[in-house]
A and B are shown apart, each in its own frame.
Chain A
């Protein structure tokens, strides 16, 4: 059974002992707590064989054939490591999805290090894997992404600020680029997710934030590439494995940027490590 909680001076993270999933996040400095569940899902990629449109999902086009993603596993097998420097809960969801929930002793951010792949395609279904954070934050159909790493823009479900939108893609039509961060908020709480790479993301349900992690597709989207997005390599002949990190920060909305701006800076301009064998002269 996973631990009930891990915590440092700044954050407390609880887990559901029955499922092994995250269940809440607290900022101990600001004394705020949100319900937070996180899990991994996959959208079945559209193969273009659809009465409404013959557009397959591909490199340029994200187009799931259903708005409801498949849950990869409702529970996670867990393993816990608790030391004075770092506390980790290692979650195993499937042979191709695992994660480490990590809290360093002096950190104000919770690290989620996800590992996804190789995506199985022996069922002949293209897969677009996401992680979804479901919270108690009352988002009222709004969420926020940075479009270019500088300006953060407000996004509203099924809405565009400069024209009347007739939404035809309930999921993909509400996905936006995330270059360094995305957040959801209400009057009390703001949950900011800082990413280590550009990703796609959306807030399809109130209180939730989902982020695309990995894709493996079987059809070309007929936009000029002429190949499906189905990459492998010498080391990973059965499909690529991807590992990345999300950093979560929970704050009051007026002061949230004080936390996520330096956090994102530290991710984008990380320290460079070099090594020297033996004694340094």
Chain B
């Protein structure tokens, strides 16, 4: 059972104490981070439940919290996966998506099955250094998604060409 109350409380503590300004001792900063991470875990369940109810699909949803450093065990190892995009804005948005992958060519299609232009680019050396052995993606799959106002859509990604077999990664 998910909830947003845990995150709400963690945010309240963080904001009351100016938690993001660095004006607390390190062990206190660690505690704020732990509370916020725990809050987000509870929110993930809540979001999954909501999207399952709205979409009618109870398939397990995976969250990738480290996409900014090109880490996502699912996209790095899967030959076929779907990307669900929820747009919290009250207007349609077009948004670039970058997913860590190991294949060299992929096909991306939108919810209606229409093909979407996508490209595979190498992961930068700065990102390699930054992620410190977390994740193994050597490339990123880049494409634009379009999401409806206050709603969601999905894109299907299929591996077309695999230069090297993807390494085994436990989700």
Q: Interface with B: A5-13, A77-85, A166-174, which one?
A: A77-85
Q: Which chain B positions have C-beta within 8 A of A104?
A: 96, 144
Beyond A83-B121, A271-B88, is A276–B81 a contact (Cβ under 8 Å)?
yes
Interchain Cβ contacts within 8 Å, total number: 139
B130 near A272 with CB under 8 A, answer no
Q: Does B84 contact A (CB under 8 A)?
A: yes
Alpha-carbon distance A123/B63, docked complex (angstroms):
41
Beyond A84-B117, A85-B117, A90-B126, is A223–B23 a contact (Cβ under 8 Å)?
yes
Mostly, the B contact residues are mixed
Looking at the complex, which one of B23, B74, B124, B134 makes contact with A90 (CB distance below 8 Å)? B124
Within 8 A of A (CB), among B1-55: 20-26, 29, 47-48, 51
Q: B-contacting residues of A (Cβ < 8 Å)?
A: 59-60, 79, 81, 83-86, 88, 90, 92, 98, 100, 104-107, 115, 198, 215, 223-227, 229, 231, 235-236, 241, 243, 262, 265-266, 269-281
Q: Which chain A positions have C-beta within 8 A of B26?
A: 227, 231
B80 near A279 with CB under 8 A, answer yes
Alpha-carbon distance A161/B77, docked complex (angstroms):
58
Within 8 A of A (CB), among B116-134: 117-119, 121-122, 124-127, 130, 132, 134
Given contacts A115-B127, A271-B86, A279-B156, 14 further A-B contacts (CB under 8 A): A60-B21, A79-B124, A86-B119, A90-B124, A100-B126, A105-B144, A227-B25, A231-B29, A269-B89, A273-B97, A275-B72, A277-B78, A277-B80, A279-B80
Q: Which chain B positions have C-beta within 8 A of A270?
A: 88, 95
Interchain nearest-CB distance for B8 vs A (Å): 17
B84 near A243 with CB under 8 A, answer no
Alpha-carbon distance A109/B12, docked complex (angstroms):
33
